[in-house]
């Protein structure tokens, strides 16, 4: 299933016509479990594009709902929906109905991954080498802040910082710094969504019970990747491990020059060790994720 071909057959969200888009996707019927299974089988076994298209369109509301959860980052909702739709199509392409779970549960990971990648690219705030804890902080700070300090402007109070630090298992200083960086990027995040009637969002959202599934899915994804990395690190020798941590996992990565002096070898040799170690980690994590069906469920 070509993403381009499928996108050309789908309603397209635009910055000026989001309400129209939401009204359009409401017209696509939701599928019961039996119909979804038959459509997925027909697509998987026969390559029936009509079945695949129906699977996609029946879940466009799920994408919109998830995308709305990221609107606090100040990015165009229509762009996040478009990115999420690409993730949805990837999920449909790889979905195996015989695994015993619904497409929505499987697709949430792909949708969120696509949207998060877009957010990170757009903000240029969490770069390669940033720790998993900081990425978790980036994507959860605003939600927790709204829970414990919904009307708080400026810096968080000490007790609020401690609470967020405890919940996300990160240093208090990281919470303060991230909050300041995010406030600096925010422009009009408190403005109401200009979408017409006040109850319009509730009309098109999918079942609210999916919220808990999203939270579980997000935490499970984080835990799985953390465990994969922890296990993969065991295949590295001590020098490889130290260099990978210094170059890729620390908040302030060491320079090749710093490590060259520490280990008394050339900068090029440090770079070679880093590259080799990273490739070993990547291969180990990919193989482990495939065997456990963490990413592809294949």
Domain 3-123 has CATH 1.20.120.1810: yes
For residues 252-265, average pLDDT: 89
- Residues 135/136/142/148 CA torsion (nearest 10 deg): -150
CA distance 107 to 202: 21
How many Cβ atoms are within 10 Å of 2's Cβ, its own excluded?
10
Q: What integer best gives the mean pLDDT of the chain?
A: 76
How crowded is the C-beta side of 43, counted as CA atoms within 13 Å?
Answer: 24
**83 CB-near residues (< 8 Å, 6+ apart):** 67, 114, 115, 117, 118
Give the model's pLDDT for residue 201: 33
Break the chain into its structural domains and give their ranges: 3-123, 132-204, 210-292
- Higher confidence at residue 129 or residue 231? 231
CA distance 199 to 251: 43
**36 CB-near residues (< 8 Å, 6+ apart):** 55, 58, 97, 102, 103
| CB burial string 88-127: b at 16+ within 10 A, e below | bbbbbbebebeeeebbbebbbbbbbbbbbebbbebeebbe
* CATH number belonging to domain 210-292: 1.10.10.10
Give the model's pLDDT for residue 290: 64
> Which segment of 4-13, 60-69, 98-107, 263-272 scores lowest on mean pLDDT?
4-13
> Which segment of 79-93, 134-148, 172-186 scores lowest on mean pLDDT?
172-186
Contact 58, 107 (CB under 8 A): no
> Which segment of 101-110, 155-164, 244-253 scores lowest on mean pLDDT?
244-253
For residues 174-190, average pLDDT: 61
- 3-class SS at 108? helix
> Which segment of 54-68, 191-205, 209-223 scores lowest on mean pLDDT?
191-205
Reply yes or no on whether the pLDDT at 185 is more than 80: no
Give the model's pLDDT for residue 248: 77
Give the model's pLDDT for residue 39: 95
Give the model's pLDDT for residue 118: 82
CA distance 184 to 178: 10
Give the model's pLDDT for residue 195: 40
The model's confidence at residue 18, banded by pLDDT at 50, 70 and 90, is: confident
Contact 232, 284 (CB under 8 A): yes
> Residue 124: left (phi > 0), alpha (psi -120 to 50), or beta?
left
């Amino acid at each position: 299933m070509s993403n381009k071909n499928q996108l050309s057959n789908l309603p397209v969200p635009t910055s000026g016509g989001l309400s129209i888009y939401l009204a359009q996707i409401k017209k696509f019927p939701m599928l019961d479990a039996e119909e979804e299974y038959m459509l997925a089988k027909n697509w998987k076994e026969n390559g029936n594009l009509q079945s695949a298209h129906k699977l996609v369109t029946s879940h466009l509301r799920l994408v919109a709902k998830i995308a709305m959860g990221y609107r606090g980052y100040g990015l165009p909702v229509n762009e996040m929906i478009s990115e999420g739709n690409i993730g949805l199509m990837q999920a449909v392409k790889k979905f195996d109905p015989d695994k015993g779970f619904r497409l929505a549960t499987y697709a949430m990971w792909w949708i969120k991954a696509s949207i998060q990648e877009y957010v990170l690219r757009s903000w240029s705030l969490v770069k390669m080498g940033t720790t998993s804890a900081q990425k978790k902080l980036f994507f959860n700070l605003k939600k927790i802040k709204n829970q414990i300090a919904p009307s708080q402007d400026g810096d968080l109070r000490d007790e609020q910082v401690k609470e967020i630090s405890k919940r996300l298992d990160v240093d208090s200083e990281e919470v303060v710094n991230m909050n300041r960086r995010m406030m600096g990027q925010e422009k009009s995040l408190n403005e109401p969504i200009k979408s017409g009637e006040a109850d319009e969002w509730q009309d098109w959202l999918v079942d609210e019970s999916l919220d808990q599934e999203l939270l579980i899915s997000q935490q499970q994804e984080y835990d799985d990747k953390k465990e994969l990395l922890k296990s993969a690190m065991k295949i590295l020798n001590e020098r490889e491990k130290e260099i990978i941590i210094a170059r890729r996992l620390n908040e302030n990565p060491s320079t090749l020059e710093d490590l060259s002096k520490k280990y008394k070898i050339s900068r090029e040799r440090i770079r070679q060790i880093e590259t080799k170690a990273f490739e070993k980690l990547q291969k180990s994590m990919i193989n482990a994720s495939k065997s456990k069906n963490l990413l592809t469920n294949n």
